[in-house]
Amino acid sequence: MVADVPLLALPAGSLLQFALMTLPLLCVYLYFLYLAIDRPNIANPNDPRYIYDRIKLMDIQLTYLITLILCVSFIMYMLWFVRKRRQLSKRYESEAITILGNVEYNEKYYMSGNAEEGTCKSCFYNVWQWFANGFTLRNNYGRVVYDLERVANHPACNYEDKKRGKKLCGTISKKIRVYYRYPREQISILVLPNYPYSGQPKIDMEADWASFAYTNAGVPNEEDVDALRDPRVTMPQVLSRDRSLGVLFVALFWTCFLLGASLFVTFQIEIIDDQYEDEDASTAWMRFWIALGGGIPVISFGGNYLRWKMYERWTLLSGKKKRPKKTTTDESDVVESEEGGGGSYVQMT
């Protein structure tokens, strides 16, 4: 599964679910912040708490910085990657040609192992089954199958190999994201003329476009806001409470909190530098600036760019091509003529 499809996102959920999932982590990070505030008070060899086991501020700072990089990466995913994916999806609406093809879909679930009910082993199997079926996303994908010759014969197809005299032939089978989870035959397949391997079921693409209109992932475009203000439009006013915008605001809150907390912890390390041998202010400042100047640009921007190129290639160029079988002459099909002595004919079976 991992090799066939790019990593996109976890299954859709409500903003409340996202907030509740991050609350336990926020409580832990607030406790770390409390330790950083209180650390100068116990950084005294005469204080009995000085010899107690403690969480190093260097470790707390590193935890904050790593989480900060992940949050900025997620914001870049929402603001840039999702917009790019939307633009690619909308290209099918304006540029694609339509041919007929099939959609293969086989719904599968991980089943729990054989164990007696009420035992620890049975409980473990049930938890694993719930987790695997909920997060693997295996049932969100099917396969589209269509004839490349139909693409080549379309007047709008201007594929480069076609210009060079190479004929598109055979059948292409590729893994796709599906919204309608059942197999289908002889349905409309949208294919971009320059990318014959880019086939997507039309009805699933329409569902994808509808998701942009009602639960827009990322900041809404000006045209979307203008459409909602138009009195002739009867669609519900959903962008003001859009789930993706809410998730984006939660991620922005986390980014501001982590940036401020990591900076504060760095100053606290500078205060107690002389009291602990394992707290080094110069190393802490170096980590801080490397994270801001190197980690965030490389991982957040570079990582999302790499993810986008993987997704773009998966959508436009991936697939397994099956060439048509050549007609072979089997020895059993050749029958000697009774008359003439030297002739033969091929009996087509």
Instruction: State the pLDDT confidence band at 21, using cuts at 50, 70 and 90.
Output: confident
Whether 231 is in a domain gets the answer yes
As a whole number of angstroms, the distance between CA 257 and CA 253 comes to 6
On whether the CB atoms of residues 177 and 141 are closer than 8 A, the answer is yes
Q: What is the pLDDT of residues 275-322, one digit of tens each?
A: 888 888 999 999 999 999 998 999 999 999 999 999 999 999 888 887
As a whole number of angstroms, the distance between CA 112 and CA 129 comes to 6
Whether 137 is in a domain gets the answer yes
The per-residue pLDDT for 329 is 45
Range of the domain at 166: 15-279+293-324
Cα-only R_g, the chain:
30
On whether the CB atoms of residues 195 and 155 are closer than 8 A, the answer is no
Share of the chain above pLDDT 90, in %: 32
Q: What is the pLDDT of residues 111-166, one digit of tens each?
A: 555 545 556 666 766 666 655 555 555 677 889 999 888 888 877 776 655 555 56
HSE-up of residue 147 (Cα within 13 Å, Cβ side): 10
Instruction: State the pLDDT confidence band at 12, using cuts at 50, 70 and 90.
Output: very low
Whether 28 is in a domain gets the answer yes
Question: What is the sign, positive or negative, of the torsion defined by CA atoms of 51, 54, 59, 60?
Answer: negative
Q: What is the pLDDT of residues 328-349, one digit of tens each?
A: 544 444 333 333 343 332 333 3
Whether 331 is in a domain gets the answer no
| Beta strand spans in the chain (E) | 97-104, 141-147, 171-177, 184-191, 200-201, 320-322, 334-336, 344-346
Whether 193 is in a domain gets the answer yes
The per-residue pLDDT for 246 is 76
Q: What is the pLDDT of residues 78-107, one digit of tens each?
A: 889 988 998 999 899 888 989 899 999 887
Whether 105 is in a domain gets the answer yes
Q: Which phi and psi angles does 153 have, rounded to 5°?
A: -80, -10
Whether 288 is in a domain gets the answer no
Alpha-carbon distances, residue 294 vs 6, 69, 258, 297 (angstroms): 25, 10, 17, 6
In 3D space, the residue among 43, 51, 32, 40 whose CA is nearest the CA of residue 267 turns out to be 40
* Total of domains in the chain: 1
Share of the chain above pLDDT 70, in %: 65
The per-residue pLDDT for 256 is 95
Whether 111 is in a domain gets the answer yes
